[in-house]
Amino acid sequence: MLHLPSMLVYGLLSFSMAFLNKALFEVTGFKNSFFVILIQLAFLLVSFYVFKILNLVKLPPLTYLECKNFILPSLMYSLTTALSLKALIGLNVAVYVVVKRCTPAFTFILAAFVLKKQKFSLTLGLSVCAITTGAIITSAGDLKFDLISYIIGGLSVLAHALYLLLIQRCGEDKSSVDVLYINSVLSLPFIFILTLFSNEWTSVKNYNGYTTWTFWLFFLFSTMGGNLLNYSTFWCTMKNSALTTSVVGVLKSILQILFGIFTFERLDLNIYTIGGITLSLIGGTMFSYAEYHAKVNRNKRTPASMNNEISTQENNQQHQVDLENSADDNEKFVYIRKIHN
């Protein structure tokens, strides 16, 4: 039976984060994205240590071997998050979501052709083409076309895909909390260096909106909301399933696009933007459907003992988040377990 509270909380937080970050940049004029990420990471780590003191979580020891294994995924995470928020500053929310929806397609292509770990079926191939073509068509109809923002968005998608593939390999024997903690600790220095060399410290010191309530409202929501989203993702997956979380993520993306068209800088509605967005959504739905049936077929072909089935089910409920769900920019912390054998 579906657990509605966890689904609603996850869906609401997942839907709202792109708009909260955009509001922080546009409404308050605080466009220091690296600094925002730095505070988000610091808040997350403080939360971990508080939970440890309260005996709510057990944090793994950070050994040299762990740092060595996770250093590259953490670097990719840092690039993903930094580039994603930079792209969000220059793109309409709806366009931004469409671009980020290309993440599963890039991940699939890398797994299929580079790592040779994915079977390229016709349905998955068509869905990948639909997602990427939809994003290209949408950009062609964007009258406020900002080439730099689109390039940054594309690079964030590529970095995100590499992050997902790397975390599948090095985090195979880790829990979601372990990966979340280790990745956050190692990512903090990278983000600090980016903040330092981007001259955002000067911008942060010279910002004159600290006395306004709107700044603190959006800043606190942005800082805490990203971390609450991670916890709600785990909650929804444990109480329901990875598939349920993925479906909620797809529905969230549809609503984000619909609302994003009319918020902040309105997207110009024309045959290209409407057609591109529609094609991208159809491709995303096809991708989720094809992935679900592929996993069902693999389970049917692979006999397992009852104990293994129970163990696998519990493990999946705790740690799997479908690649479709990972397209949100605030879900970079989420551990994506290996889906493809």
**Cβ neighbours of residue 265 closer than 8 Å, sequence gap 6 or more:** 26, 92, 144
The owner of tokens 């690649």 is 323
Domain boundary assignment for the chain: 4-331
The torsion angles phi and psi of 165, rounded to 5 degrees, stand at: -70, -40
User: What per-residue confidence (pLDDT) applies to 196?
Assistant: 87
CA atoms of 210 and 225, how far apart (whole Å): 20
**Per-residue pLDDT at 59 exceeds 90:** no
User: What per-residue confidence (pLDDT) applies to 303?
Assistant: 52
Once rounded to an integer, what is the mean pLDDT over residues 146-156? Answer: 87
* pLDDT tens digits, one per residue of 255-292: 877 777 777 766 777 888 788 888 887 887 777 777 66
* pLDDT tens digits, one per residue of 207-231: 999 999 999 999 998 888 877 887 7
Out of 17-21, 39-43, 166-170, 277-281, pick the least confident: 166-170
**Per-residue pLDDT at 15 exceeds 70:** yes
Contact 235, 9 (CB under 8 A): yes
**What pTM was computed for the model?**
0.75
Contact 336, 168 (CB under 8 A): yes
**Per-residue pLDDT at 251 exceeds 50:** yes
Nearest 10 degrees: CA dihedral of 62, 68, 74, 79?
Answer: 150
User: What per-residue confidence (pLDDT) applies to 116?
Assistant: 60
